[in-house]
Amino acid sequence: MTVVIRQPGVVLTDHLFQVPLDHAAPQGEQIEVYAREVVAVGKERSDLPWLLYLQGGPGGRAARPLGRDSWLDRALDDYRVLLLDQRGTGRSTPATRQTLPLRGGAAEQAEYLSYFRADSIVRDAELIRRQLLGEQGQWSLLGQSFGGFCTLTYLSLAPEGLREALITGGLAGLRSSATDVYRAAYPRVAHKNAAHYARYPQDVEAVRRVVEHLAVAPAQLPGGGLLTVTAFQSLGLMLGSGSGSDSLHYLLEDAWVRGSAGLELSDTFLAGAQSKLSFADGPLYAVLHESIYGQRSVDPGPTGWAAEQVRKEFPEFDPVRALEDGTPVRFTGEMIYPWMFETDPALRPLQEAANLLAQRTDWPDLYAPAVLAANQVPVAAAVYHDDMYVDTADSLATADAVRGLRTWVTNEWEHDGLRVSGGQVLDRLIRMVRGQL
């Protein structure tokens, strides 16, 4: 039964699709992929072009709309929008610590999860496109962050399904290995640390106090996780969003409370840290993160916990050294480390499968440079000049490698510009792809 919901200004319609786990074996095991259609009130029966939205991640479900909020307000002026819960997320067949043991042991789980990368997501989208629009129908595509990576895969594998593509903060390096990605990432994260401490110099001492405490006594988080020094450092993931530095500062403001035994880390702080550190609502982000960079033609070897290995090349992120030298303790950024599968209860049961994925070799290529060089689909991309998550140099090199791709390089917004700009980022990209700018 089709479920239709009305919110102020919008009509939402549920869609559920059966897709092959392995698109190379279409008659084999099937999984479900959920998508939510969003259309403006009064336009339900209008012949509108479709816009498929691919969420950031990996492992992030599509945003849940609250009327005409965020970028949707602008999109609904022109499009019928489809919000896709990428396989394994949201209301699609879930892949979590609760469901993956049904596959069997770690080897079976890792094999299953190997079908959850961008190539499979794109093939799911193509199957859905044909069901909704017909064999010859085309839709527009909006890819945010990892969704932009998927857009490049879409342009590589099935450009015939696209009438135009819009990318925000998601031009991946076509020839960058996982090691390359993190070697470029640590200096960007160091820059964000410097900017944070320049804005909030009092946080230098505040962070050192927390680190000194955790070095002696790691703290139990409300959900059962463990806040170690390295886990605390990973709160630096927040520094890549427009308000992330402010939010981190306010979190640190609430760090301490005086209890019966003296000063201790407050429940408010620990709850706030847990909300940022737990992968309970998106375990695939951690499990699959490094595999999204695996391509046999770039590096036939394993990704091998690249963020952990490359970190050794940047001793300035060593908290012990910082404490000894009296220098600011640096936060890390968008890095997934193997210890996360020990400290986070949502990840702990997936540790063996994650290790197997980290050692997997010969990942299929995700991009086709020759196809992209001959691209005929209009593409516009926002490249955030100070993006902490995606390397600007990689993005601009990729822009040069995709025929006809137009870029807008800006430092007005951070990586979350699509969400927080009130439709301004999307509006500019729409006008660019239509040749109005």
Q: Residues with catalytic annotation?
A: 145, 362, 415
SS3 140: strand
Q: How far apart are CA 298 and CA 367, in angstroms?
A: 11
Residue 56 in contact with residue 147, Cβ under 8 Å? yes
Q: How far apart are the first and last CA of the chain?
A: 44
Ordered DSSP codes for 25-90: STTS-EEEEEEEEEEETT-TTS-PPEEEEE-SSSSPPPP---SS-TTHHHHHHH-EEEEEE-TBST
Phi/psi for 262 (5° steps) reads 105, -160
In sequence order, what DSSP letters do the residues of 346-385 get, joined into one string? TTGGGHHHHHHHHH---PPP---HHHHHT--S-EEEEEET
> From CA 329, how far away is CA 179, in angstroms rounded?
23
Q: Which amino acid is at 291?
A: S
Contact 285, 279 (CB under 8 A): yes
- 1: burial class by Cβ within 10 Å (0-12, 13-18, 19+)? exposed
